[in-house]
Structure 1
Amino acid sequence: MIEYQRYIDAVDVWITERPHAVVIAFLLLTAIFAVGFTNISAESGTSQFTEDTPAQDAFDEVNQRFTPPFEETNGSTRLVQSGSNVLTKDELLAMLEAQQRLKERERFRVVSTSSVARIVAQTLDPSATTLDAQIRTLEGATSTAIERAIRTAIAGSGFTDLLSEDFNRQSASASATIGTVEHDVPRGVSQSAGTSGSDPLMDIQTNAQSVVTSVDSDIRVFGSGIVSAEFTNIIFDSLIIVVPAVALLILAFLVFAYRDPIDLLLGLLSLVMAVIWTFGFTGLAGLRFTQMLIAVPPLLLAVGIDFGIHTINRYREERIEGTAIAESMRRTTDQLLVAFFIVTGTTVVGFAANGISDLGPIRQFGLVAAVGIVFTFLIFGIFLPAAKVGADRLRIRFGIPEFGRRPLGSEGSLLGRMLTIGVVVARRAPSALLAVTLLVSVGAGFYATGVDTSFSQDDFLPPEDPPDYIGGLPEPFAPDSYSVTDTTNFLDERFATTQDGSVTIYVDGRLHKDSALESIQRANQDPPPSLTPVDREVDAESILTVIRDYADQSAEFARLIERNDADGDGVPDDNLRDIYDALLDSPYRGQALRYITEDYRCTQVVYSTASDASQDEITRDARTFVDRYRLPAIATGQTIVLQAVSDTILESAIQSLLTALVVTVLFLVLAYYVIEGQPSLGIVNLAPIVVSVALLAGSMRLFGIPFNALTATILSITVGLGVDYSAHFVHRFTDEYTEHTPLYTALENTVRGTGGALTGSMLTTTTGIGVLILAITPILGQFGLVVALSVFFAYLTSILITPSAIVVWDHLCD
């Protein structure tokens, strides 16, 4: 054992003899950290998770290489129109009028538009090239003429792609269509697989909706700017709803736990300080506030509430025996600072284990949460005891009565009798209980292997049908109306492919080799099912597409192709450099540079994907498909990037859990060796945590909760939070178990002494964090549920299993 008491004694001097100095120092630090709030900036969306992934790096390189340097109009807005038949005269006119109204307003920076309505109008009058002219053309056309124009336009390229799958050629009808509007915005917008709140299209598209709504038709605006706006709004709307609910529930349970207004005030002040310190640090460190960090305050509350209740409860145990204020607090801190240190160390390990994740937001979450727990330890381990000493001395001086002197779970109370159930079982059949627990844990762990893994922007967006309580909330709690999920579901249902329904094969090699284009052609001959849209042949766009288009327009270029096509399949296999040179010297240069670089080293091939194919199927098929290319190639695109993140999430969850378990075991063994000279107590301390992790993982599958960006952190967090409960139990037992106190008496004293505080902490934390299920975004609701389950399982296993584990440990040590 190492002598550590002198350090605690030094802290005790400040707490009991200079409490006002401690309080003032902590309040000054709080003011300093509060300044950091002004530096906090928000980051939302999925792009934060995709940064630095190989698939995203390839996707970024594709966008950089194949966007011509002179092109600035890559900001696109989709106008999604629906109705009984969007090909009627009135509906076609409505689309043109919506596009015209957007073009007339300079702030929308419209440079071009396209739609079925424009194609039909130009089919009626080829000279009608402007929106004004096309509107006049349609206004003067009869319904019969418009139907004939539609049937003529069907033969053209791309017409049916803009119509829903229920398009009927005979009746010239469809229930939905998509028009596009291109904006002059900085190049590179909307090119990443994710979307963040910095998207410059946000202002354009959010304001465009009100303009489009003025048209007498069901047309909605959709694009990355709309998604970005909802990503940003959902953070604040969720906080506005959840924070008051959390505060009310926690307040209610803290009133029950403290039963004294002054103690309640001190406890709440300490909780607020922990949050201010943590997010003040976040701002001072220049870290962005992301959706994942919304989960940090509940975790701080979980640990802070536990620390606060234990401090006040343990202090009351001494005071009710008639011990003086200073001595009561000395005895309290002598015991709890050690327990708090163990809890803090293991909890920090649990959070910090997320630092090994390959995903930046998860690493940042682990860092901020770990730092927050250290702050919580300092505030509740030093500030709260000092404030309590100072408050009680002032209470005596001014004659203010105490309202809640009796500790929770005291002998004779109903709670005290219920808490001894674990001790009763430990007296009769401790080994049997541990054997059953082992079987249940193994079964739950095996069942948990079927937990799904997911990652998509839908995790961060509100559901299509928000809960009923959302609609009844008054201002300022009433959230904005959300449309992204509804629109994306509508697009998935009505259209075979959308803008995200594609996979890009990025090829980097000597494209002027004679076999280069032939290898691309051969790869396209037998694509996997997921890269073949339903009822269509493979839909691939590549440099071959541009070569064929130009050959159809230029007889001279067609002859060049023919001279260099040895096998007559329409794909040149000789003198490819001459083919590329001629193409880049033609009017098709701009189109060619979308698929090949000027040094003829890199190319992209874009494949449309089947609408019913899953993200996993598309990724798996695309990665296998890449092997057909003779030149070095990599599969990328939004679907590939998101699936890569999904795979990383599962890996991170497993790696973080194993890291947390291993490091926690080492920490506990070392801590109990240093503190008690009994390293094996560290194993006893960990036993209920392993059970908690297994039960939680099995519950996630039972309740259909997947491993996503936020819940992937929960297994390692469960280790940290779970040790919180078992460490208090085991450490209190070591204090009670002396030469003069028998084993079972020590267990009963432990259960009554610390079990009441654990119960109060569990009830407050599970209900407070469980309120996250009210959050509008699904990922927060799921996280709230799994954290609440984690705390409940940690409490249950500590009360029921730890006594039996201690009994078995004691028998083995004899």
Structure 2
Amino acid sequence: MSAPERLAAIVTKHSRVVLVVLLLATAVVGAGATMVDDDSSLDQFETDSDEARALEDIEGNFTSEQQENTTSLQVITRTDEGGDGGENVLTKSSLISSLEFQQDVRANESINETLADDQPITGVENIIAISAIRSEEADALNETSARLERGLNETVAIQRQYEQLNATYDESDPEYETRAAELEAQLNATVENATAPLTDAQTAEYESAVQQARDIESQRYQLEQTTDDPNESSEYQELTEQLEGVYQAGTVGVLEEEYAALEGGADGENDSGDRPSLDEQIDALEELDDDEFSELVAETLSDGEGEDNPAISLMPTSYEPGSTEADARLTSITQSAGGDGMSEMGGVDDAVVDSQLEIRDMANEHEGDYLVFGSGLITDEIDRSMGDSLAIVGPLALLFVVVALLVAYRDLLDIVLGIVGIGAVLVWTFGFMGWAGIAFNQMFVAVPVLLIGLSIDYAIHVFMRHREQRETERSADADDHAGSVRGSMSVALAGVGVALVWVTATTVIGFLSNLVSPIGPIREFGIVSSVGIVAALIVFGALIPAAKVELDAFLEGRGLDRHKRAFGTGGGRFSEVLTLGSTAARKIPLIVLVLVLVLSVGGVYGATQVDTSFQEEDFLAEDPPAWTESLPGGMSPGEYQAKDDLDYVNQEFQRADSQAQLLVEGDVADPALLEQINATREEAASSDVAYELATGEADVQDPLSTMESVAAQNESFNESFTAADTDNDGVPDENVSALYDELFEVDEEAAGQVLHQTDDGEYNMTRLVIGTDGGATTSETTDEMRAIAESLEDGGDGDWTVTATGDPIVSYIVEQDLLDTVLESLLITLVAVFVFLTAAYWLTGNSATLGTVTLLPVAFSVSWILGTMYLLGMPFNVLTGMITSLTIGLGVAYSIHVSARYSLELERQGNVWSALRTTVTGTGGALLGSAATTVGGFGVLAFAILPALQQFGIITALTITYAFLASVVVLPTLLVLWTRYFGPDVSFDFDPTAEPTPASDGGAPADAATAEDTASEDGDDR
């Protein structure tokens, strides 16, 4: 007895033991399903590359504590013609409404807890309101300064009168004392009047300046009296300069903190961290009349400061700087991302997701038209689209499978057993994921459908072969129901078992070829799918057959007939359709081959044209079609708007994650580098992929632009910056390291964004941040930035290295890794399956060349499916990128079943045409049922909400269709040619009058009764 026969006999003879053991194993393995977590972030698809490591270096060395671990939410206020939003978002009422919305956000405790500590909300409305407040404060401060200056002028004048009094009168003169008292009183009143708005400390400082002014003026008066021309005296000039210094100290010096408070950043925060409250901002806007308001808006949003104007960066690209009308404006909300931080479209915790959803709900209820866009909202939509997709396609796939099985099985018990088996396979698979710690992501939505299709494939082959064998043995011993059931199942499992094992092995090879991928989730998908396929073999090769023989024997023992005809073997239209391949192989084999080769060549050409994509759009669902509204509550999907919002943001604004970066490492204090950076940023600004601000300027941040910005606000640094530029070209060319040191002293936050200083004070890294157009492809962005990086590096003669990185570039690397995965897995799968099949056929006594013949239809179908992807405009993404290995893994299963059955029938019948007819009607019928259920299972993915899943379902359904057609239409021709030139010596005679040959015994011993006896020994041993 062969090994397959012994294993089959164990399953049928000891069916109860098999049932108990496998049910216990299912419970143990399935317990892990409760530990499966989910992860929809795209971070997990990033691979280990120089660009990814450079981005990590940037995030670790150029991010402040305030910015670290944060994510940005963009709230866009838009016009709503005919609605509450009005036709202009720069009206006073619109700005005040946005400030009130900010108040609502800050008043919400759960949202407020997620906000970053350092002024988390900044919008155009804040900048304009704070400008109004600062303008009013500046006017008041200038008035106070003028008041102090007047006081000093009066003090100097009074002191001169003192000096004149001293020169005219003797101190003992009563009139002197009277006049002196009057001057002193006048002086005290002057000081008291000037210092009325000051604090005690400021008053003391001012009084000190007054005393110094009096002393200097006294000395100047004495010199005037003793010198003919005091203006020619160096001592007099020196005293005059000292007096000017005292004036400076007594006015601007006394009010230094107040003046510093006016120099707030984009968010209006001053050096002490103060920022006008939202109430103060609202009051400031309400107090302005229409003319004042219009003038303020125009001034705040002017392009006088170019790209350094923070308000301009919050306006759409279509905005005309200085205009008092706009159709959109942006408010940025910074939140703590939670977890390990935030990257592109992922990395935020549940609290942030919930808070962003709540902010969007509040915005929808608030007056005006708001668009809310952020990583938490994207995460929510991806998660919901996965859940909604499963809710829709799961029941549809199950319904289709049930209907298909009703047609194929026409037996309720077999249908129930099939569904139970599917459930067991899924329990094993998800249980393994839980125990292995593999998270459920976008790719794994396809796993249940994949396993449903493969499980039904296994079930149909086992059940149909069992039915064929029962029909063959119907007359052997009609009274021995148990023996007939067990014996038929034993023979069926022995006959189809080898094919199932080979199918499992080749399919697992196909999926495990994804282990070469550098993308973690693809490797995990290959492992999980392989485990699920092995589970399907165990469940439908042992658990379900054991349950079936127990139930069939029990029912037949009570008088119920369990004989059923196998699908496709009863004649009629199905049988005739299935013989198309055998008929073509006999009549037009050359035409078949020519057509196949032509289609395959076209497919190969199309394969070279298929794009690769790793875009956010691949994972964002569009608003579900209207028909989904009629679905039952549990299946009805929610609303999806992130895709439309993303398109709008890409068109009008710069996304927070749409930035390319150039990391420069080496001697970054070299003056030559600044010269190169100056040229490089001009090159970047002229790039087609650079984001263009409303001013028409590119959004580029680098150490040179940072120093220019700080110099414009700090006089001391401006002097150093100008002094370091000896050739007056706007670029410092000496003392750069010292200039960097001063930059850190003046504005550490700004300096830390573009420069990294080692512990010993050396500057070893800098970066250029280039805003990119969200509509540009990752390929375009990467090519441009790499060219710019190469130009910058070439200018250093090896003194520094430059790496182009950023989210768009890292995404492009993922795309390339996807393409590499497609090519490598295709090559590995083809070679591995070829080696396996040739070795397997050789070891089982067949010609090794049969392995090549079996694989050829699969290679053809691979070219067909890739050509179809090109025709449909469907790119390789994280799901469709596995289509080549999946096509081979699934397609070879059909070919193996046909080749294995043909070899068996050829040996039994000795005639090519009768063996081929039996194969295509028997195994072909099972393949048709399997293909129908698998195609239906994957086809329902076209109704999924997740776009990538829709594409995967469509292309996989076509893959199964092509694999089925290749196995029952193309493979018969190849098998006939193989038999003629490489196969056994058999008859090629065709007898059109011959009756269809009965189904084979699947390799049963010559004495069928012996086999049945073997399989049905003492029932207690079962």
Shorter chain as normaliser: what TM range?
over 0.9
Q: Give the letter aligned to residue 16 of structure 2.
A: H
Q: Is the 8 A contact 1:72 1:187 kept in 2?
A: no
Per mean C-alpha deviation after superposition, the further-off stretch among 374-383 and 131-140 is 131-140
The answer to whether residue 610 in structure 2 is matched with residue 607 in structure 1 is no
Aligned to 2:300: 153
Aligned to 2:397: 246
Q: Give the letter aligned to residue 294 of structure 1.
A: V
**Using the alignment, how far apart are the partners of 1:284 and 1:611 within structure 2?**
40
Q: Is the 8 A contact 2:8 2:491 kept in 1?
A: no
Cα distance, 1:759–1:671 mapped onto 2, change above 3 Å = same
Q: Is the 8 A contact 2:657 2:807 kept in 1?
A: yes
Per mean C-alpha deviation after superposition, the further-off stretch among 778-787 and 162-171 is 162-171
**Using the alignment, how far apart are the partners of 2:363 and 2:568 within structure 1?**
64
1:602 is paired with a residue whose SS is strand
**Using the alignment, how far apart are the partners of 1:122 and 1:473 within structure 2?**
51
Q: 2:283 aligns with which of 127, 136, 156?
A: 136
Aligned to 1:787: 956
**Using the alignment, how far apart are the partners of 2:802 and 2:865 within structure 1?**
41
**Using the alignment, how far apart are the partners of 1:90 and 1:472 within structure 2?**
41
**Using the alignment, how far apart are the partners of 2:915 and 2:774 within structure 1?**
65
Aligned to 2:647: 489
- Coordinate RMSD, CA, aligned: 2.0
Aligned to 1:173: 325
1:635 is paired with a residue whose SS is strand
Cα offset, 1:384, TM superposition: 2.1
Cα offset, 1:18, TM superposition: 1.0
**Using the alignment, how far apart are the partners of 2:69 and 2:857 within structure 1?**
59
Q: List aligned pairs for 1:107-506, cutoff 5 A.
A: 107=110, 108-109=112-113, 110=115, 111=117, 112=119, 113-126=121-134, 127=137, 129-155=276-302, 157-168=309-320, 172-183=324-335, 189-190=341-342, 192-196=343-347, 198=349, 200-321=351-472, 322=474, 323=476, 324-402=484-562, 405-463=564-622, 465-495=623-653, 497-506=654-663
Give CA-to-partner distance per residue, 1:139-197, whole Å, 9 cap, x none: 3333433222111112251222212233245762111111112335659633x234146
Give CA-to-partner distance per residue, 1:721-749, whole Å, 9 cap, x none: 00111100000011100274311111011
**Using the alignment, how far apart are the partners of 2:405 and 2:939 within structure 1?**
16
Q: Is the 8 A contact 2:69 2:340 kept in 1?
A: no
Per mean C-alpha deviation after superposition, the further-off stretch among 11-20 and 349-358 is 11-20
Q: Is the 8 A contact 1:770 1:784 kept in 2?
A: yes
**Using the alignment, how far apart are the partners of 2:631 and 2:414 within structure 1?**
33
**Using the alignment, how far apart are the partners of 1:205 and 1:97 within structure 2?**
18
1:180 is paired with a residue whose SS is strand
**Using the alignment, how far apart are the partners of 1:485 and 1:547 within structure 2?**
38
Aligned to 1:696: 865
**Using the alignment, how far apart are the partners of 1:513 and 1:160 within structure 2?**
33
**Using the alignment, how far apart are the partners of 1:430 and 1:331 within structure 2?**
34
Q: Give the letter aligned to residue 567 of structure 1.
A: D
Cα distance, 1:492–1:553 mapped onto 2, change above 3 Å = closer
Give CA-to-partner distance per residue, 1:416-475, whole Å, 9 cap, x none: 111111111111232332132112211121123211211112211112x43222333331
Cα offset, 1:646, TM superposition: 1.2
Q: 1:7 aligns with which of 3, 7, 30?
A: 3
Cα distance, 1:103–1:699 mapped onto 2, change above 3 Å = same
2:803 is paired with a residue whose SS is strand
Aligned to 1:88: 91
Cα offset, 1:390, TM superposition: 1.2
The answer to whether residue 918 in structure 2 is matched with residue 749 in structure 1 is yes
Q: Give the letter aligned to residue 552 of structure 1.
A: A
Cα offset, 1:255, TM superposition: 1.4
Q: Is the 8 A contact 2:382 2:621 kept in 1?
A: no
**Using the alignment, how far apart are the partners of 1:702 and 1:299 within structure 2?**
24
**Using the alignment, how far apart are the partners of 2:297 and 2:66 within structure 1?**
35
Cα offset, 1:58, TM superposition: 1.8
**Using the alignment, how far apart are the partners of 1:184 and 1:441 within structure 2?**
53
The answer to whether residue 960 in structure 2 is matched with residue 797 in structure 1 is no
Aligned to 2:64: 68
The answer to whether residue 841 in structure 2 is matched with residue 672 in structure 1 is yes
Q: Give the letter aligned to residue 120 of structure 1.
A: I
Per mean C-alpha deviation after superposition, the further-off stretch among 524-533 and 469-478 is 524-533
Cα distance, 1:187–1:573 mapped onto 2, change above 3 Å = farther
Q: Give the letter aligned to residue 866 of structure 2.
A: A
**Using the alignment, how far apart are the partners of 1:775 and 1:196 within structure 2?**
25
Q: Give the letter aligned to residue 485 of structure 1.
A: K
Aligned to 1:42: 38
2:661 is paired with a residue whose SS is strand
**Using the alignment, how far apart are the partners of 1:198 and 1:182 within structure 2?**
14
Per mean C-alpha deviation after superposition, the further-off stretch among 6-15 and 286-295 is 6-15
Q: Is the 8 A contact 2:339 2:348 kept in 1?
A: no
**Using the alignment, how far apart are the partners of 1:267 and 1:185 within structure 2?**
46
The answer to whether residue 932 in structure 2 is matched with residue 772 in structure 1 is no
Cα offset, 1:261, TM superposition: 1.2
Q: Is the 8 A contact 2:299 2:322 kept in 1?
A: no
Q: Give the letter aligned to residue 174 of structure 1.
A: A
Aligned to 2:26: 30
Per mean C-alpha deviation after superposition, the further-off stretch among 410-419 and 560-569 is 560-569
Q: Is the 8 A contact 2:667 2:764 kept in 1?
A: yes
Q: 2:780 aligns with which of 592, 613, 617?
A: 617
Per mean C-alpha deviation after superposition, the further-off stretch among 28-37 and 70-79 is 70-79
**Using the alignment, how far apart are the partners of 1:669 and 1:738 within structure 2?**
19
Aligned to 2:666: 509
Cα offset, 1:609, TM superposition: 2.2
2:310 is paired with a residue whose SS is coil
Q: Is the 8 A contact 1:48 1:194 kept in 2?
A: no
With structure 1 as the length reference, what TM-score do the two structures score? Answer: 0.95
Q: List aligned pairs for 1:647-726, cutoff 5 A.
A: 647-726=816-895
Aligned to 1:642: 811
**Using the alignment, how far apart are the partners of 1:326 and 1:787 within structure 2?**
37
**Using the alignment, how far apart are the partners of 1:430 and 1:412 within structure 2?**
24
Give CA-to-partner distance per residue, 1:218-263, whole Å, 9 cap, x none: 1233211112222222221211111111111111111111111111
Cα offset, 1:551, TM superposition: 2.2
2:414 is paired with a residue whose SS is helix
**Using the alignment, how far apart are the partners of 2:841 and 2:67 within structure 1?**
66
Per mean C-alpha deviation after superposition, the further-off stretch among 342-351 and 574-583 is 574-583
Cα distance, 1:262–1:73 mapped onto 2, change above 3 Å = closer
Cα offset, 1:544, TM superposition: 1.3
Cα offset, 1:133, TM superposition: 1.1
2:2 is paired with a residue whose SS is helix
Cα offset, 1:673, TM superposition: 0.7
Which is greater in Rg? 2
Q: Give the letter aligned to residue 89 of structure 1.
A: K
Cα distance, 1:271–1:545 mapped onto 2, change above 3 Å = same
With structure 2 as the length reference, what TM-score do the two structures score? Answer: 0.76
**Using the alignment, how far apart are the partners of 1:694 and 1:217 within structure 2?**
53
Cα distance, 1:637–1:751 mapped onto 2, change above 3 Å = same
